[in-house]
Each structure stands twice: as structure tokens, then as C-alpha cells.
A and B are shown apart, each in its own frame.
Chain A
Amino acid sequence: METPAHPDLVIDDPSLEGPLAFVGGPYGNDRALRAVLEDAVQRGASRIFCLGDLGGFGPYPERVLPLLDEFEVITLAGNYDRALSEGSGSCGCGYTHPDDNRFARIAYAYTSRRTSDAERMRFGALPRHIRFLRGGARYLLCHGSPRRVNEFLWESACSDAFLERIAREAAADIVLCSHTGLPWTRVLPSGARFVNVGAVGRPANDGRTQAWYAWLPGSSRDVELVPVPYDHDAVARDMEREGLPPEFANTIRTGWWTTCLEVLPARERARGRF
């Protein structure tokens, strides 16, 4: 098991009983992030959480922290943020296929060039997990899985029994994670719940261009996945202007993943176009 450099952030605050919003990787897509945060505020979120991976893929990683600050978002560290804070040579996404790693390297080099020392310091201070009690349930927020920052929890690739076990081992009733970029929710036979909140910065490989986040109404445990439209064409143009691969802009314009696909399990892969 990993030994986290930073202990879990444990929050005890009355605001947690209200409606909560959870956003996955902004990936340097500032327009999608702003649209999602504004949507959450408009719905009356009493707290907003970000599950890490502030940069990567999108054109403006340097605009993400100021936005999270503006909306007072409570943020944990994704593999990207950890890699940047540690000065690592790669993003640590956990891809195993050379084709996936080729594009991952491009995105990481781009993001790393645009990340200041001050930002790296702040990334290094982000917690690994966030925990709180709400309505008697133990919530655990993490990036990949409760045990690994870069573990992919794909909907079709995790047995119920496995999710039950890792929730139990993490002493959580409701686990919210991200990292894969595809949102899903599951209520397990024991009543424990898993939510993958998806990622804000890259569409969900479903031919739609919206950004997704997770919404938890006040006094409820039923998470709703919310799509938010934004000016995706402008982001695609930003990407082209900044010299990012045309494949990235194509994904933003069409809602279909064109890169880092090899990691997808059969069922998720079959849903996409490529």
C-alpha cells in the first residue's frame, strides 16, 4: 500500500449537509471548468470538491488553480498534480500501452512547461484523500481508487465484490473517484456506493461535447451525473493555436476519444467511435 505523504483531509463542517458538487479532472480546460463551477453555484452547491488532475490534455493549465480559488473548491491531488509537484518525468497516469503513453507524454510535457514553481508547491500540499461524515454515512473522496492514485476504476471492469472490499478496507460507505474520465455510479449489494465523477476537461467518449460532473442533493445519497454544455469550439481552437495535437482538438469537437484508448475495457471501448 502507498504511504501518503499527506494525511487524509478530514472535514467536519455544517455546510456538508447541503448540496455538494464533485468535479473530476479539469485537464487544463478552463472553459469547461468555469461552466461546470457556475452550474454548480447556480444550483446552490454549498461546497464544491475537485478530485485532482488540474492539468493535462487542455490548453491552459495555468488558469485552473485561479478558478478553483475563485469558487473556493476543496481539491485533492491527482497523479498529474503529484507528478508535477515531485518533478517527475512522466504523468504517472498508469497507461501500459505505447500508443497511450505517446500522447500522455505530449500532454505532460506541455503542461509541465506551463506550470510554475509556485503552482508545483501548492500541488505538493494537496491532500491525497478527503473524508467527511454526512447524514451518518462515511464519504471518501480520492483520485484513482482509495488505495492507488492511478488505479483505473472502469464501470465494466470492477466486480461488485471487489468494490465492496475496497470500500470496506477504506472504511467508507460512499466512495467518489475519478481518473478514468468516464462517469458512472453503482449501489452495491451491501448498500455501499461508488461514484466515478468523470472528468471535466475531456468529453465522455459518447459523441456529446458536454463536460460532466457529479451532483449530490442536500439530505440525499443519490448522486446525479450532470452534463454541462460550454464553448467547446473555442477550446478546440485554443488547442490548435497552442500547438497541441489535432487529435485532442478533434475529441473536444466531437465528443469521441481519439487518444489514450488502449486502456479501455471491451465494453467502454465498444461504446466509442475509435
Chain B
Amino acid sequence: MERSPVSLVALHAPKVPLLSLDTVWFQVAGTLCNLTCHHCFISCGPGNRSHEMMARAEVARYLEEVGDLGVKDLYFTGGEPFLNREILGILEDALRVAPTTVLTNATLIDDRRAGDLAALARATRYSFEVRVSLDGLTPETNDPIRGEGTFRTTIRGAEALHRAGIEPILTVAQTWSDEEDTGLRERFHALLRSLGIARPRVKVLPLFRLGREAGRTRGYEPEERLTREHVVDYDFWNLQCSTSRMVTSRGVFVCPILIDVPAARMGSTLRETLRPFPLAHGACHTCWATGASCRN
């Protein structure tokens, strides 16, 4: 866990209200991952047990609360969700309750597993999205960030999804400058089209200067903090923490980014977290400045 100055800064930080609990995230694979990406803001990897795998029964208990509280949609992430042996059952349970998205590196998705996911998509009236992470257009740009051979295995997984009838959303962390942005987005679209994906979708996320990313580039500077002036006449709906929470094996956290910050744990049940939260972390500044949301 990060030793964060969050509790000191929190005294002076502006608070974000919980306007409506619309989205619930699950850290369904904990911080366990088969990859060790250099920009991972929660430093996931094969040996990281900061957050444990979640059991199907544990998720199911939260899904009851999800129904009671009128949650709109659900997201499952990790770590790598497909390391969780119960993931298909968990997604099946989720899709009975609400529209569902799973975030994966796709390296563990073969034709059989893609077929299982397509069957889930056919069996529900809700949208079932699969988001696939990739950080470069070629092995030369992707693999230095995500690991040797990952470009090839991720593309293979995306192709298997496409063959099964699921059009994945490519999720890319923005490791390039804003000036290069438009051209690169188009090239990621083109990459998907080259795989035969007729309706390419790309989601670009900013980098969060936490975990391994803080070592790769830099951590947050003290001045990268929100003050009350930042949120005068501000529309809090733009911040995902005004409408979502993150469930892990260790309880319910304010958002998917801050699960290694002890002060970001808000309770053991969703109901306990229906209250404001101080925007005291550098990552809060990133969301405010970029307008980023982890949602699709």
C-alpha cells in the first residue's frame, strides 16, 4: 500500500458528492496479472497480492446490493480477470443484473473462451462489452511497455473475439503527446479494421502517475492537487467518483485508480460508501484536468 499524504491533504481538499451510484467496478482478479506492464498504476503482476481474487459467491453478495441500489452498469477488471477461474460464472451472474463490461489483456483468450463469452452475450438482453488493452501499433512500440510478445498474443485474443462475434473495444493508455493524438487514434482504428473488425472502437485513457508508472516517468508533484477553487461552478457529474465505486477483496473503494491508497477505502458494503469523498490525491487532479472516466 502506498504511504500517501492523502489524509493530511484531505482536510483542505474539496469534496465530491456521490450524486448517484450508477456504476460499480469489481477488482475481480485482485492485483494478480500475467503481465507486468510498466505503466500499471496499481503495479499488477504475477506476485502482487495487495488485492486478492474475488470468489463468485463474494461478488454475488455485492450483486444483491447492486440490484437494491438501482445500479446502472457493472465493470470487471484486475489484474487479469481471466486468471480468475470463476470469471465466466461471475459474468453470467452480472449480466442477469445489469449491462456488463470486462477489461482484459486478451492474452488468455483463445477460440474456446471467446466462444463462451459470445454465448454470454447472446443470452442477455443487456450490452456485454469486452475491452482489450494494447499500448502500441506494433510489437516495437507495445512490447517495451506491456512485455515481450504481448502484441502478438493480444492481437491473437482480439482476433478470437472477433471470430466469435464479439467486437472488442481497444483500450489504450495515452503514452504520447496531445499533438500526436488524432493521428494515432486513427491508426488504432485502422489496426482493428486490418483484423477484419468492421466497427472499430478505441478508448484512450490518460496515464496515472501511481504504482509502476510513477517509476517509469514520475510521480505526482505537490502542486498537482485540487483546491476548492478548482471546483467552483464545476459539474461534478464529470468526475466518475460522483457516480461510481470500486469493490475489491479488501472492501469498497472510491474509484478504480486509488485502490492502493488506504484512505480511499470507504467501507465494506456499497451502502456504507454513499457519501462524499475528499479529492485529495494527485490522481484526482488527472481526472479533473483530462475529463477522464474509466467507463466505456
A residues sitting closer than 8 Å to B (CB atoms) are 1, 96, 98-99, 147-148, 154, 156-159, 161-162, 164-166, 168, 261-262, 265-270, 272, 274
Q: Which residues of A contact B71 (CB under 8 A)?
A: 159, 161-162
CB distance from A110 to the nearest CB of B (A): 22
Whether B127 and A156, one on each chain, are in contact in the complex, defined by CB atoms closer than 8 angstroms, is yes
Given contact pairs A157-B73, A157-B127, a sample of 20 additional A-B residue pairs in the complex whose CB atoms are under 8 Å apart: A1-B19, A98-B185, A148-B237, A156-B125, A157-B99, A158-B72, A158-B99, A159-B70, A159-B71, A161-B66, A161-B97, A162-B70, A164-B70, A166-B70, A265-B296, A266-B167, A270-B199, A272-B199, A274-B198, A274-B199
A-B contact count (CB 8 A): 74
Complexed CA–CA distance, A267 and B293 (Å): 21
Check: B20 CB closer than 8 A to any chain A CB.
yes
B residues 166-186 in Cβ contact with A at 8 Å = 166-167, 181-182, 185
CB distance from A138 to the nearest CB of B (A): 18
B residues 186-237 in Cβ contact with A at 8 Å = 198-199, 201, 237
Complexed CA–CA distance, A59 and B54 (Å): 54
Whether A261 and B70, one on each chain, are in contact in the complex, defined by CB atoms closer than 8 angstroms, is no
Complexed CA–CA distance, A135 and B124 (Å): 34
The answer, among B70, B129, B198, B296, for a CB contact under 8 Å with A165, is B70
Complexed CA–CA distance, A157 and B125 (Å): 9
User: Secondary structure at chain B's binding surface: helix, strand, loop or mixed?
Assistant: loop
Whether A270 and B167, one on each chain, are in contact in the complex, defined by CB atoms closer than 8 angstroms, is yes
CB distance from A94 to the nearest CB of B (A): 10
Whether B125 and A162, one on each chain, are in contact in the complex, defined by CB atoms closer than 8 angstroms, is no
Contact indicator per residue, chain B 261-296, by CB within 8 Å of chain A (1) or not (0)? 000000000000000000000000000000101001
Q: Which residues of A contact B69 (CB under 8 A)?
A: 161, 165
Could you name 24 residue pairs across A and B whose Cβ atoms are closer than 8 Å?
Answer: A96-B291, A96-B293, A98-B185, A99-B185, A147-B20, A156-B99, A156-B126, A157-B73, A158-B99, A159-B99, A159-B126, A161-B66, A161-B68, A162-B70, A162-B73, A261-B199, A262-B201, A265-B99, A266-B167, A267-B127, A270-B167, A270-B199, A274-B198, A274-B199
